[in-house]
Structures are given as C-alpha cells and as structure tokens.
C-alpha cells in the first residue's frame, strides 16, 4: 500500500515496499521454510519537521519497522531513502546513525548502569566528533538542559533516576549527535500518565527548538492526537490506513482504525486534560 501526500518539499524519509521477514521451519521433519511477515510491503513518506504517528496493536510489526529503518533489523526487501539517498547500513552505518536516532520504550535497558550520565552523553560526542574534546563537558551540560535536567545529573548513575528522568537522559543521548530524524519507539507507554504528558510536551518543545522530525510509535491512539501531524495505522505487517490526524480521528476508513478509536478514552468535557494542566491551558 503506497500513501502519497502532496507537498512542495521533498520528503526526508521514504519507504518503498519495505519488507522484514523472519524464516522458520515447518512441515514434515521441518523440511519446509515459511516466513513470519513482520513488515510486509510498507510504503510511506515523512517530511522534514513533521511527526508521523505509527499505531497498532502489539505484534503488528510497528517496532520492527522502526528498527528496520535505523538498521537494527535487516530488511528482506524494498527500499529506504533518507534525504533522497538510498540507505545502506553496510557501508554508511556511522553517517546514518548520526542522521537517525532512536528513543526506546525502556531507557534503562539502553543505558549502561556502570557509567555516569555524563559519560553516557560524552561517548557519542567523542565517537562522532560533534564538538572539540575540550568542549565535551559543556556540551553534556547543554544536552541535560535541553531535556530539563540539571547539570549536576552528569555525575549520577542511571539507577538514581526515576523512569521519567531516565527517559529524558535517553532523549538527550539520542540528541547528542544532532540527528534530523528521531524514531520514538513507545517512549511514554511505560510511564505514569502525568509523566507521559511531561515527556510529550518535551518532544513538542524540542521539535520547535531544533526542527526535528519524528516517527512516533505507539500501540494506542492516546498520545497521537496531541503529538502527530499524520497517523499511519499498522495491522499484521501492513499499513491499512494513513491520513492527517484529523482525518483519522473524524473519518476513519478501515475497520481496524475504528476499533482503535473505540478503545480511545473519551475525555470528560468538564475536566481539563493532564496535558492541558501541564501546559497551563484553561479548559
């Protein structure tokens, strides 16, 4: 399924019939090879500065697609183009990893517990030579400030932080190499609702300040209405619907999208939302 959107500018990321299959043995004496089609012919575009939400139930292939884009999973077929150039992680891994970064659902699993936060943030700065060596400490403090953490956090270890604070560290680490595209793989689903709102507000703030582009992955529509410009609905490895956030919420076309919308909590109009309270918006 190919989704096209009329734009004046060229897309930053283009997926063309991307497939990620996993072989397994079946049949008599396991002589036959079949495939789990985790991602099955996905095509869409993301434009610079926008947020595309990718939503679907667990096991639909959305996280596999995110990991395929960034090169953590090998694609079976199709093409991925970034800024007009076909991506090849076999030859361009270092340069592509500077352009595209990922924020994981569980930042603790991606942060070395034996390293201080300062060391974790300094590592990509050194590897990619983002700033001169004598400016690394200053850049670490700047990154911490970007995500709302004090400079003193650089001397502490991951286990000393709350889940929301660790996610801020994960975001800071992704930003260290100054990427253009962030793949956000369910970055708020493991957090308390009030903390989710704070992190969503942070993503919006960073996008406004840095001009970032997001692929925002989630299993439900809860955050999508607030964070996304467009929404792609994924089911059984395929994109079954894609449109602007308003189109998807007000005029869903696919039965699966309608099912997701039925599960979406309806707000009480007499109460302000948590995101509104976080932003100081009156009901």
Give phi and psi for 248, each to the nearest 5. -65, -40
Phi-psi region of 83 (alpha: psi -120 to 50; beta: other; left: phi over 0): left
pLDDT for 31: 81
Task: Quickly tell me which residue has 């500065």 as its tokens.
Answer: 49
Residue ranges and CATH numbers for the domains of the chain are 11-263 (3.40.50.300)
> CA separation (Å) from 212 to 5, 68, 154, 225, 226?
19, 20, 24, 18, 16
Predicted pLDDT of residue 29: 82
Predicted local confidence at residue 4, as pLDDT? 43
Look at residue 1 in the predicted model and tell me its pLDDT: 41
Residues 6+ apart with CB under 8 A from 89: 71, 96
The span from the CA of 45 to the CA of 170, in Å, is 26
Task: Give the pLDDT of residue 2.
Answer: 39
Q: Look up tokens 């004598």; give the residue.
A: 134
DSSP string, 8-38: SSPPSEEEEEEEEEEEEEESGGG-EEEEEEE
Dihedral, 203, 205, 209, 214 alpha carbons, nearest 10: 30
Q: Contact at 8 Å (CB) between 48 and 12?
A: yes
- Please, which residues have CB within 8 angstroms of residue 26's CB and are 6 or more apart in sequence? 32, 33, 34
- pLDDT in the model for residue 110: 81
pLDDT tens sequence for the chain (283 residues) = 434 444 557 899 999 999 999 999 888 888 889 999 999 999 999 999 999 999 999 999 999 999 999 999 999 999 999 999 998 887 787 788 899 999 998 877 888 999 999 999 999 999 999 999 999 999 999 999 999 999 999 999 999 999 999 999 999 999 999 999 999 999 998 888 889 999 999 999 999 999 999 999 999 898 899 999 999 999 999 999 999 999 999 999 999 999 999 987 765 544 555 445 554 433 3
Given this model, what pLDDT does residue 268 score? 53
Give the pLDDT score at 267. 57
Q: Give pLDDT, residue 166.
A: 95
């Amino acid at each position: 399924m190919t989704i096209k959107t009329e734009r004046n500018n060229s897309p930053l990321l283009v997926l063309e019939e991307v497939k990620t299959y996993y072989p397994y043995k079946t049949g008599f004496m396991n002589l036959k090879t079949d495939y789990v089609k985790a991602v099955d012919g996905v095509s869409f575009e993301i434009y610079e500065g926008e947020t595309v939400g990718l939503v679907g139930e667990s096991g639909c292939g959305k996280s596999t697609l995110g990991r395929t884009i960034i090169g953590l999973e090998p694609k079976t077929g199709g093409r991925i183009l970034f800024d007009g150039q076909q991506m090849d992680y076999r030859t361009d891994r270092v340069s592509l990893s500077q352009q595209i970064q990922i924020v994981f659902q569980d930042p603790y699993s991606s942060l070395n517990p034996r390293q201080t936060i300062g060391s974790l943030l300094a590592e990509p700065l050194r590897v990619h030579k983002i700033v001169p060596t004598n400016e690394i400490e200053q850049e670490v403090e700047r990154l911490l400030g970007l995500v709302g953490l004090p400079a003193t956090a650089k001397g502490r270890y991951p286990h000393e932080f709350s889940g929301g604070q660790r996610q801020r560290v994960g975001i800071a680490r992704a930003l260290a190499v100054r990427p253009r595209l962030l793949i956000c793989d369910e970055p708020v689903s493991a957090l308390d609702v009030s903390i989710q709102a704070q992190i969503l507000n942070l993503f919006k703030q960073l996008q406004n300040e840095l001009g970032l582009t997001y692929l925002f992955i989630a299993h439900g529509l809860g955050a999508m209405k607030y964070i996304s410009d467009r929404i792609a609905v994924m089911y059984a490895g395929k994109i079954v619907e894609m449109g602007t956030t308003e189109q998807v919420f007000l005029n869903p076309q696919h039965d699966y999208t309608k099912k997701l919308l039925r599960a979406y909590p309806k707000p009480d109009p007499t109460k302000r939302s948590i995101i509104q309270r976080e932003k100081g918006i009156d009901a």
